[in-house]
Amino acid sequence: MQFDDVVRNRHSVRSYTNFPPSGTDVQRILEIANMAPSAGGLKARNIMVVRKGSKTEALAEACGGQQFVGEAPFVMVFCADIGRIKAYGERGEKLYCIQDTAAAVQNALLKAADLGIGSCWVGDFDPEKVTQVLGLPDHLIPQAIVPLGYEE
């Protein structure tokens, strides 16, 4: 797809078929997400992919019961990595690592759209619950949750 068409066609998808995107496509989305710019090239972010199951159901609950999160075949969780941004002090921790993460989210949404895979940027969640569900270490702060699946 042409770049402008990808941007124009991307929209939030909140209902998915059961047919899962291939592992190869998920890998491509991850790769393009990680090519987003980052402060000092430090990539102060971490992206996890969770297959549909008990954890994604728990993530949906952490998103205030946004059930579509638990219904997607895959869920990506984007975290800021405050451990990797220490060189930039408070500005790094309060701003750069969050922007690094947001840039990666947008890349992921656009690559998913390019592959014909639906996604949605979900920001309304309880970060402490997400941390608990995924057993995240202290240096990873969840910023965005992105379910992936073919639009129903």
Ligand X SMILES: Cc1cc2nc3c(=O)[nH]c(=O)nc-3n(C[C@H](O)[C@H](O)[C@H](O)COP(=O)(O)O)c2cc1C
Binding site residues, ligand X, CB under 6 A? 11-12, 14, 66, 120-124
Query: Strands 140-149, 74-81: parallel, antiparallel or unpaired by DSSP?
Result: antiparallel
For ligand X, the closer of residues 82 and 109 by Cβ is: 109
Among candidates 107, 87, 110, which has minimal Cα distance to 97?
A: 87
- Measured from the Cβ of residue 31, the count of other Cβ atoms closer than 10 Å reads 12
Closest residue to ligand X, judged by C-beta, is: 123
Residue 120 Cβ, how far from ligand X at the closest point, in Å?
A: 5
- Measured from the Cβ of residue 142, the count of other Cβ atoms closer than 10 Å reads 25
Residue 64 Cβ, how far from ligand X at the closest point, in Å?
A: 8
For ligand X, the closer of residues 23 and 123 by Cβ is: 123
Residue 54 Cβ, how far from ligand X at the closest point, in Å?
A: 21
Tell me how far apart the alpha carbons of residues 120 and 13 are, in angstroms, rounded to a whole number.
Answer: 6
For ligand X, the closer of residues 140 and 145 by Cβ is: 145
